[in-house]
Each structure stands twice: as C-alpha cells, then as structure tokens.
Amino acid sequence: MILRITRLELREITIPFRFAFKHSLAVRRQARNLILALHTDAGTVGYGEVIPRRYLTGETIASAWEDICRQFWPALRELHLNAQEYPYQALQPFFTWASEQRRTAASAGVDLAIWDAWAKAAQRPGYSLFGQRRSLPVPLTGPLGAGSMRYLWRTASLMRFLGFVDYKLKVGNVQDLAAVQLLRKIIGPRCDLRVDANAGWQVDQAIAMAQELRQFGVSSVEQPVPAGNVQDLAQVQRQGGLPVVADESLCTLADARMLLAEQAADIWNLRLAKIGGFTGFLALLQMAGYPLPPGLNRAPLPGRLRPVSNHGYRPKIHLGVLVGETSLITAAARACLGLCPYIHVEYGYPWILLKMDPFQGDPGGYSGTAKPLGEAFGLGVTPKTHLLDHLTVRQEVLE
C-alpha cells in the first residue's frame, strides 16, 4: 500500500507551567510549541510537535511555521510512502536539508508526524516502531532546576522517596558546589549524580569546576561551555577529569562530525525536538557507530550519514528532553527505547510541569522508571480536542 499525504493541520499553542523552570540560559514559565496533524489517504493521522529554541538552532515559532508551510509542505505533497517499508530512506532528504540549514526543530515535528501516520497505516506497535525488540524498563533521570537550597532539599527528598536513582542538577551560579554537596547528602553515595551547566562557564572556569565536582562523585558535566567551538569542549574533557556531555553543541550532522573529529564529548545528548525527530536520531546513532535494526539498513546510506572513522571512539548516548514537551514527544522518546544502551534516559513529566496537556496517553514515569510503549499503533497518543482548541492561538490548514 502506498501512502500519500493529503492534509496538514498546523497549530501554535501556548501552555502555562505550574512553576518556572530555570537554568543558566533561560527561565521558562510557559511552552510555546507547534502541533502538526498530518492526514494520509489511508485515513491515518500522525501527530508531531515543534519546540524551537533560538539558542540551539536559531529557530523561532515564526521561522518554524514559515519553513513548514513553504519548504516542507510542498515536499510532503509529493512524498509517497510504502506501508511495508520503513520511511527512513524516504525521509533522509528532509533531514539532510534541515541539518544543513539548521532547521532541525521544524523538521522534527514533520518527521514525527510522518512516522506516526506511517506506523498506524503499517500497524506497527509503538514499542517496536523501528523493528527493535521490546525494551525492559530503564531508570529515569530526576531533573532539578536552579533554585534555592530549600527547593533543592524538598524536591530531591521527594524524588528519593519515589525511588529515583539518577539525578541531574542545573548549575551555573555561585552556589553550585554547595548545592552539589547538599544533593549528594540527600541522595546518598550510590545514586548517579551529574550536572548541567547549559553553556554557563568559560573554559578555565569549567575545568576548575569539573575538578572540584569530582570530590562529590559527579559522573559527568553537560555542556560546560558555550556551543560553537568544539575545541573548548574537548579541552574541558581532557583537563577537567570528568566526561563531558554535548547538548547545545549537537543539533546537526555537521555538529556531530566536528564532535567526532575532535573526540570532544564522551556522551551525546540526543533530544528528538532539536535533532530532526526520529530520522535525525537514527542518523546520528549511525554516525556514532551504533548498529540499527536490520530493516532500517536495506539501502546504502548517503556518505554524509556513514559513521566517521574515529579509531574506535564511540560516544555514549543520553536520551534527552526539552523543557515544555507535551505527552506527544514524551511518547516519541519512549519509541526510541531498545535502539541502543543508553547511559541516561530523561523524561519531560508533562503532568507535573504543564498546567494542561493537550494529549492523552502519557507513558508515565513519575516513580523514576521508563516503561516502553505498548501495543497501540504509532505513538499511542491522541489529542484532547477541546483542550487543544482552547490552547491554540493560531491555526492553518494546508491541502
């Protein structure tokens, strides 16, 4: 069966947070996202979500909207998908263009919607969307934003009570060492503890902080310095004595190639919303040297997607999130379980952070464990139509 795209519904939504979430680059009190509903001639509807961040790819709500309408929609109308074949090869031109133009947030929403619509038509369960085996439950990260010591004590104590064994603390202010020391006291010596500076330090400061953090058993430091110069990131990793996680430094194929060439980060933070959705995720896994399920490798890959020769160096993979994700992207992240052995798995906790979640089918994880998606075809989430309408501030239908 050949699938064709017949209609695209594009919405801008605004969702207030229950509380502000802070880090060194931003303080967020609401989510401003784009929601896509992609209709096929088989009667299936696939859903996608766009979360642009100017500090990641330079994209905004306005630019993503424009790209979807002017760049992606004309190409989508010409796209033919075979329900018996994975759409990975067919979607690579979309991703490579977006990667070259740094439009990977907009392309992520389009990509997720296409995979979701295809999986429903192909009757592919979410847990094996890419042909991978059903994964076992994995530990989830307990995220801790920047805040007061009282906030840290209360939140970390609750997470410890709920059973979390993996924690990430936002850092980048004068209380960093005291906060890390307090957190280690709360969670004990056996739990994994890492920090995320969100590009908040300069090189010398990052090296000094990394050396200090080792005494508290910190396992890694995420994006210690601003993106744009991978040599700085590599220097922090060599001299700081802690594994470095690349986040803001990793959004496109070019970013990945530079990181590999310099061996600048032992860990890659792959977040679906910043790297082009599933197709970008799979491409970056291949570049990092991870094998994909057999059905995804039937056709030769373009040279730009082939793994880079790096003398056996292979970064570990961190499955990340962006603040403000709805249940749509949290479900999409669960579809990636089983693709590789992750060092960390994060979750957006939409029921806690968002005052209203316009999708139902949240895969859960509030006690610190990520379960794979179930037997429902595609991502397994559906919109709450009345709530989605209430949150919509702009809408356009393309046919």
Distances (CA, A) of 86 to 122, 153, 185, 219: 9, 47, 48, 37
The domain that holds 388 is classified in CATH as 3.30.390.10
Please indicate, yes or no, whether residues 204 and 341 belong to a single structural domain of this protein.
yes
Please indicate, yes or no, whether residues 91 and 207 belong to a single structural domain of this protein.
no
Number of domains in the chain: 2
Beta pairing, strands 192-196 & 141-144? unpaired
Please indicate, yes or no, whether residues 65 and 211 belong to a single structural domain of this protein.
no
CB-based contact 221:239 (threshold 8 Å): no
The domain that holds 207 is classified in CATH as 3.20.20.120
Please indicate, yes or no, whether residues 160 and 251 belong to a single structural domain of this protein.
yes
The confidence score (pLDDT) of residue 7 equals 97
Rg, Å, the chain Cα set: 20
Judged by DSSP in three states, 335 sits in: coil
Q: What's the rounded Cα separation, in Å, for the pair 92 and 75?
A: 12
Please indicate, yes or no, whether residues 131 and 16 belong to a single structural domain of this protein.
no
Q: What's the rounded Cα separation, in Å, for the pair 152 and 176?
A: 12
Q: What's the rounded Cα separation, in Å, for the pair 260 and 280?
A: 16
Handedness of CA 54, 20, 244, 209 (dihedral sign): positive
Counts of helices then strands in the chain (DSSP H, E): 14, 17
Please indicate, yes or no, whether residues 150 and 119 belong to a single structural domain of this protein.
no
Please indicate, yes or no, whether residues 153 and 118 belong to a single structural domain of this protein.
no
The confidence score (pLDDT) of residue 146 equals 79
Q: Which of 153, 128, 156, 132 is nearest to 143 (CA)?
A: 156
The confidence score (pLDDT) of residue 173 equals 78
Per-residue pLDDT of the chain (399 residues; tens, 9 = 90+): 899 999 999 999 999 999 877 665 567 789 999 999 999 999 999 999 999 999 999 999 999 999 999 999 999 999 999 999 999 999 999 999 999 999 999 999 999 999 999 999 999 999 999 999 888 889 999 999 878 899 999 999 999 999 999 999 999 877 899 999 999 999 999 999 999 999 999 999 999 999 999 999 999 999 999 998 999 999 999 999 999 999 999 999 999 999 999 999 999 999 999 999 999 999 999 999 999 998 786 555 555 555 555 567 899 999 999 999 999 999 999 999 999 999 999 999 999 999 999 999 888 888 889 888 999 999 999 999 999 999 999 999 999
Angle between the 327-334 and 104-122 helix axes, to the nearest 10 degrees? Answer: 70
Domain limits for position 42: 2-124+383-398
Q: What's the rounded Cα separation, in Å, for the pair 243 and 222?
A: 9
Please indicate, yes or no, whether residues 329 and 391 belong to a single structural domain of this protein.
no
Please indicate, yes or no, whether residues 251 and 281 belong to a single structural domain of this protein.
yes
Residue written as token pair 């642009």? 52
Question: What is the value of pTM for the model shown?
Answer: 0.94
Please indicate, yes or no, whether residues 363 and 343 belong to a single structural domain of this protein.
yes
Residue type, 386: H
The confidence score (pLDDT) of residue 298 equals 58
- Per the structure block, which two tokens stand in for 371? 């379960």
Please indicate, yes or no, whether residues 177 and 261 belong to a single structural domain of this protein.
yes
Please indicate, yes or no, whether residues 170 and 278 belong to a single structural domain of this protein.
yes
Q: What's the rounded Cα separation, in Å, for the pair 398 and 107?
A: 17
Q: What's the rounded Cα separation, in Å, for the pair 153 and 186?
A: 7
